[in-house]
Amino acid sequence: MVGHEIMLDIKNLYKSFPGVIAVNDVSFQIRKGEVHVLIGENGAGKSTLVKMLAGIYSIERGSLILDGEPYAPQSVIEARAKGISIIHQELNMMTNRTVAQNVFVGREPLKGNLGLVDVKTMNIECQRILDSLQLDIRSTTLVKDLSIAQQQMVELTKAISMNNKVLIMDEPTSSLTSKEISNLFQVVKRLKSQGVSIIYISHRMEEIPVIGDRVTVMRDGCFIGTRDVSSLEMQELITMMVGRKIEDVYNREYLVPGEEVIRTEGLTGLRFRNVSISARKNEVVGIAGLVGAGRTEIAKALFGYDPIEKGRIILKGKDIPVKKHNPIAAIRSGIAFLPENRKEEGLFLSMPIRKNISQVVLKRLFRNGIIRESLEKKIAKDAISKMRIMTTSDEKLVNELSGGNQQKVVVAKWLTTNSDLVIFDEPTRGIDVGAKSEIYGLINEMARNGKAVIIISSDMPELIGLADRIYTIKDGEVTGLLEHNPETGFDQEKIMSLIIEGGNVEHQAV
Partner 1 sequence: MLNIRLFRNEIKRVPGIAYGIIIVMVIFAFTARNFMNPVNLENILRNAAILLVISIGGTMAILAGKIDLSIGGIATLSGMIGGIYLKSIPEPNAFNVLISILISIAVGSAVGAFNGFMIGYRGYDNWLITFSTMSIAFGLAQTITGGNIVSGFNRTVRFIGSGQIFGIRVLLILTFIVVGVMIFVMHRTRFGLHVYAVGDSETCAKVSGVNVKKTLFMVYLLSGLFAGLCGFLLLSKTNSVGPTTGDGYEFNAIAAIIVGGTTFDGGKGGLGSTVFGALFITIVKNGLQLIGLSVFWQQACVGFFILGIILVNALNEKRAVKNAKRRIYHD
**Sole window of 38-46, 123-131, 268-276, 491-499 interacting with partner 1 (rule: CB under 8 A):** 268-276
Binding string, residues 406-435; x marks residues near partner 1 by CB under 8 A: ------------------------------
Which of 128, 144, 332, 381 is the binder for partner 1 (CB under 8 A)? 144
Which of 38, 59, 66, 93 is the binder for partner 1 (CB under 8 A)? 93
Q: Which is nearer to partner 1, 93 or 336 (CB)?
A: 93
Which of 15, 80, 219, 300 is the binder for partner 1 (CB under 8 A)? 80
Query: What is the C-alpha to C-alpha distance for residues 178 and 380, in angstroms, rounded to an integer?
Result: 48
**Sole window of 21-29, 104-112, 443-451, 463-471 interacting with partner 1 (rule: CB under 8 A):** 104-112
How big, in percent rounded to 5, are the helix, strand and coil portions of the chain?
A: 40, 25, 35
Let me know how long the chain is.
510
Q: Which is nearer to partner 1, 113 or 231 (CB)?
A: 113
Binding string, residues 285-304; x marks residues near partner 1 by CB under 8 A: ---------x----------
Shortest approach of partner 1 to residue 178 CB, angstroms?
17
Whole-Å CA distances, 502 to 112, 293, 410? 52, 11, 33
Which of 101, 164, 197, 296 is the binder for partner 1 (CB under 8 A)? 101
CA angle 480, 483, 489 (to 5 degrees): 120
Considering the rule CB under 8 A, would residue 210 count as an interface residue with partner 1?
no
Task: Tell me which residue of 414, 406, 397, 460 sits closest to 430, measured CA to CA.
Answer: 406
Q: Which residues contact 25 (CB under 8 A, 6 or more apart)?
A: 12, 13, 14, 62, 222, 223
Task: Tell me which residue of 146, 156, 492, 493 sits closest to 292, measured CA to CA.
Answer: 146
Which of 138, 204, 263, 273 is the binder for partner 1 (CB under 8 A)? 273
Which of 95, 132, 193, 341 is the binder for partner 1 (CB under 8 A)? 95
Residues 49-68 that bind partner 1 (CB under 8 A): 56
DSSP state of 68: T
Please give the distance of CA 68 from its chain centroid, rounded to a whole number: 35
Query: What is the C-alpha to C-alpha distance for residues 225 and 204, in angstroms, rounded to an integer?
Result: 18
Considering the rule CB under 8 A, would residue 116 count as an interface residue with partner 1?
yes
Q: Which is nearer to partner 1, 2 or 94 (CB)?
A: 94
Residues 462-481 that bind partner 1 (CB under 8 A): 475-476
Query: What is the C-alpha to C-alpha distance for residues 191 and 162, in angstroms, rounded to an integer?
Result: 12
Shortest approach of partner 1 to residue 476 CB, angstroms?
6
Considering the rule CB under 8 A, would residue 25 count as an interface residue with partner 1?
no
Query: 215 with 31: CB under 8 angstroms?
Result: no
Which of 1, 2, 110, 510 is the binder for partner 1 (CB under 8 A)? 110
Task: Name the 3-class secondary structure at 167.
Answer: strand
Residues 317-376 that bind partner 1 (CB under 8 A): none
Whole-Å CA distances, 108 to 78, 111, 354, 490? 17, 10, 50, 50
Q: Which is nearer to partner 1, 114 or 328 (CB)?
A: 114
Q: Which is nearer to partner 1, 39 or 130 (CB)?
A: 130
Considering the rule CB under 8 A, would residue 119 count as an interface residue with partner 1?
yes
- Measured over the CA atoms of residue 272, residue 277, residue 282 and residue 285, the dihedral's sign is negative
Please give the distance of CA 347 from its chain centroid, rounded to a whole number: 18
Beta carbons within 10 angstroms of residue 452's beta carbon: 28
Helix axes 119-132, 148-160, angle to 10 degrees: 110
Query: 377 with 354: CB under 8 angstroms?
Result: yes
**Sole window of 96-104, 175-183, 380-388, 401-409 interacting with partner 1 (rule: CB under 8 A):** 96-104
Instruction: Give the total of residues touching partner 1 (CB under 8 A).
Output: 35
**Sole window of 62-70, 114-122, 168-176, 371-379 interacting with partner 1 (rule: CB under 8 A):** 114-122
Considering the rule CB under 8 A, would residue 92 count as an interface residue with partner 1?
yes
3-state SS, 466-488, equals: HCCEEEEEECCEEEEEEECECCC
**Sole window of 17-25, 143-151, 219-227, 349-357 interacting with partner 1 (rule: CB under 8 A):** 143-151
Which of 1, 2, 77, 362 is the binder for partner 1 (CB under 8 A)? 77
Please give the distance of CA 443 from its chain centroid, rounded to a whole number: 19
Query: 454 with 425: CB under 8 angstroms?
Result: no
Shortest approach of partner 1 to residue 281 CB, angstroms?
33
Considering the rule CB under 8 A, would residue 94 count as an interface residue with partner 1?
yes
Query: What is the C-alpha to C-alpha distance for residues 306 and 298, in angstroms, rounded to an integer?
Result: 8
Q: Which is nearer to partner 1, 334 or 502 (CB)?
A: 502
Binding site for partner 1 (CB under 8 A): 56, 76-77, 80, 88, 92-97, 101-102, 105-108, 110, 114-117, 119, 144-148, 158, 270-271, 273, 294, 475-476
